[in-house]
Structure 1
Amino acid sequence: MHLDELKCHATDLVRLLPRQMLARLAKSTEVDRYAKELQGERLFNLLLYGLIRCKRLSQRKLEKVFESRAFCTLFDYSLGERVSHSSISERLSKVNVEFFRKAYEVFYDKLHSLYTPREIERKLLVRVDSTLVAETCNKLKKGFTVGKRPVGKDACRQRRQVKYTMGYEGFAAKLAEVLDEPAYLSEDVALPKAIDGMIKKDPEHSNLYVFDRGLSSLRAYDSMTGQHARFVGRIKTNRSMETVRVLEIPEADKCAPEKLVLDEDKVVHLREGGSRKFGTEEYRVITAHFKEPRDTTRPQNKGKAKRVENRICFITNDMELPAKEIAEIYRRRWDIEVFFRFLKQELSFSHFLSVNENGLQVILYMTLITAMLVMIYKRENKLGYSMAVFTLDLEMEDYAMGLASEMAAGNRGTPHGSQKGKHKRLEANGLTS
């Protein structure tokens, strides 16, 4: 696809940046108090532009981005200004996170309006999962360690990790948190915290939460059920349970997605690990097996390789959905793994741009805002994740060069005028205000 054939251009995304909204947020959060060089809006634009343009973004690269003609031209800043990487680091450590959190929420609400009611209905399926990012201990002061601690000469190589937990609905993260306390290493602690936060924002309890077998606590299941929140998950095949009743699976529904065959659908009581008593809450457990048997040979390195099984057990508190649909819903959980890979490979999320707690939060919100803009660009132009970022980068550079040429000619008019009025859908949704 040629750049001229794109349906959505970098110019459209630049117009989506609501400067008046950022100015209002800067005033209400007082983010610019004591700030001389990097005001909230400028830091916002610097991080957004840097995340799109730079692979393995760092504070030193941001320093060069700040001085670049393209950045200054694109966002209408004066050339010749300077900022050091140490100033960027200090600003990230002290800037008011509320400015970026509220900016993310406004972007999420506004950009969500691009989707039709039918598409929104599909996005009520929230995939919940966590991803880990590690850094050497001498840089990252907070966080948790996993495995044996190195000794002797290797002691300096010890790494700390931070967990990012998100609820992803196919377009963006509905909620995201930075967790650096050791207790959150367990998904039975981390995921319920995220889900509880999303349940509070969903008064109609319309979302359906999907997670993998890392979340297996009966207490967490009971908590979600008690709050009338529906979920679909996966449990171990040897989980202790007692059957209450068996449900019938229509013969036509037994062939499920992912080459699975549904075997059994039953209502059960579960038993919490370490307890002799079964719970009183009823859950559905749907058992399936793979059509083509997989190699289940026990891995030699048990610590790094997952055991392969031929059977799968899904769990849900929804008693109405067909068993085949439950299996399909769980299959779509994989979308969040693809989203994590996109963030890490394309938006510098595989390492820390800041290593203090405040900076981690700022970068998280800015990464998610950038991801939303890229997702719009990807969706409108029918591109893959990597190609969307690459093409957007090229267009932003061309856009900045066009602006610079017009400024040199003494005409500060809107570049790419031929594109004006071409994208009524974006403007009709109030995204340019």
Structure 2
Amino acid sequence: MPHCSTVLSQIVRIFPRHEFQALAKKYHAGQKFRSFSRWTQFVSLLTAQLTGRDSLRDIVENMSAQTSKLYHLGIKPFSRSTLARTNETQPHQMYEALFQRLLTRCQGLAPTKRFKFKEKLYLLDASMIDLTLSLFPWAKYRKSKGAAKLHIGLDADGYLPAFVDMTEGKEHEINRARELELPKGSYVVFDRGYTDYTWYQDLCEEDIRFVTRLKRNAVAISGPKRRGRRSPGVLRDQQIQLKGVAGTFRKVVYLDAETNITYEFLTNALDIPAATVAELYKERWQIELFFKWIKQNLRVKSFLGTSRNAVMTQLWIALCAYLVLAFLKFQSKLGHSMQQMLRLLQLNLFERRDFMELFAPPRPKRLLCDKQLSLI
């Protein structure tokens, strides 16, 4: 049987060490480390995400129990205070840069979306993370409540988080949406929380198509109905103009046969079928599933430090863990869900075996001398 390093050691090879060390040198603050390193911080926090560790003590004890296998990872035992201090003081921007590099690699393997157009499709949304105001004073939300808001722009190719930011809970999502640099000609889908006519005008001028739901109190001037045969479920498809906004828009009224709910969609995409407009908005559900998945499977609701830097460090490493799973899923092409892969990794992270065999174990060979076969 060939010798194998631990599964975790094989996983972290996804991150080239020379690139990691270059980032660690670029984003270092304060005095030089003696025995600790940013690589040790990253591996320990990545392990915590993959194994579901909830506290600094839990992380340190878990790593200490695997002392004989740490040399495969290029790290040494460390103390809880050292890890806590590093999380508080070392810039989180390093892991943001690491996330962007891994994202580029994942996008090269990601499957393409199921729509016919070649342009990029992005799904925008934000989700609240409740925090204790007394412990996280920088995350003030209400008078006696703290919260942070996670802003995500999901790339529909592989459902990868292409745009990520975290703000105070009271920060409105439209403020972050205005700062996005979306590719020219791309599509973006969002809910009514992003309603802003000035931003709509900017998207039109930048040749970016959007799909959203029309607010009930929107002042719209009806135009001519669009010609052509209606697709099933499409009740109305007509051009409209919004009060105070230049340009022509499109209103699509769609009846969902499964829920019997009627939706009114607003878009500036005039050259796609009405049914595609409804399908694009339905695709927005994927970002809801994304938020649900990371909150249930990764550590993004309880944090190991109270400073904004510590929270952002944990958040970026959690998203790196998500990309690691996505990378393995795209690379293996075996059809496993990311949750199935995460469960397998949790049980075998420090085992010495080929990690690809976790997802595709070899079939046992049936010998001709098998007693049961000889009875047939």
Q: TM-score, normalised by structure 1?
A: 0.72
Map 1:93-112; keep pairs closer than 5 Å: 93-112=88-107
Q: 5+ residue gaps in structure 1?
A: 1-8, 150-157, 256-260, 272-277, 295-309, 403-414, 423-433
Q: Against the structure 1 CA distance between its residues 230 and 68, is the aligned structure 2 distance closer, same or farther, given a 3 Å change threshold?
A: farther
Aligned to 1:62: 59
Aligned to 1:336: 287
Matched length: 346
Gaps of 5+ in 2: 1-6, 361-376
Write the distance in 2 (CA, Å) between the matches of 1:89 and 1:249: 63
Per-residue CA deviations over 1:165-217 (Å, capped at 9, x if unaligned) read 011113321110011163x1x33334x24xx3232xx3xx1431111111111
Task: Say which SS state the counterpart of residue 336 (structure 2) adopts.
Answer: coil
TM-score, with normalisation over the residues of structure 2? 0.82
Q: CA deviation at 1:118?
A: 7.3
**Alpha-carbon deviations, 1:319-359, whole Å to 9, x = none?**
11111111111111111111111111111112233322112
**Contact (CA 8 Å) 2:174, 2:196: kept in 1 or not?**
yes
Q: Is 1:129 the counterpart of 2:82 in the alignment?
A: no
Deviation at 1:65, TM superposition (A): 3.4
After TM superposition, the structure 1 = structure 2 runs for residues 293-332 of structure 1, keeping only pairs within 5 Å, are 310-332=261-283
CA distance in 2, matches of 1:77, 1:123: 43
Q: Map of 1:217-256 to 2, 5 A cutoff?
A: 217-251=196-230, 253=231, 255=232
Correspondence for 1:290:
256
Report whether the alignment pairs 1:27 with 2:29.
no
Are the equivalent residues in 1 in contact too, given 2:147–2:169 (CA < 8 A)?
no
Displacement over 6 Å in runs of 4+: 117-123
- Distance change in 2, residues 1:90/1:10 (3 Å): closer
- Deviation digits for residues 54-94 of structure 1 (CA, Å, limit 9, x no counterpart): 25x2222223234231662441334xx3312x432322121
CA–CA separation in structure 2 for the residues paired with 1:215 and 1:314: 14
CA RMSD of aligned residues (A): 2.8
The corresponding residue for 2:83 is 88
The 2-side partners of 1:346 and 1:117 are apart by: 25
3-state DSSP of counterpart to 2:43: helix
Give the aligned partner of residue 349 of structure 2.
396
Distance 1:91 1:229, change over 3 A: same
Q: Per-residue CA shift, 1:363-392, capped at 9, x if unaligned?
A: 222111110111233453322232221112
Of all paired residues, the percent bearing the same amino acid is 18
1:317 offset after TM fit, Å?
1.4
Amino acid at match of 1:223: D
* Residue 33 to residue 41, structure 1, CA distance change in 2 (3 Å): farther
Contact residue 244 and residue 267 of structure 1 kept, 8 A: yes
Q: Distance in 2 between matches of 1:347 and 1:138?
A: 24
How far off is 1:416 after superposition?
Answer: 4.2
Residues 315 and 354 (structure 1), Cα distance of their counterparts in 2 relative to 1, 3 Å cut: farther
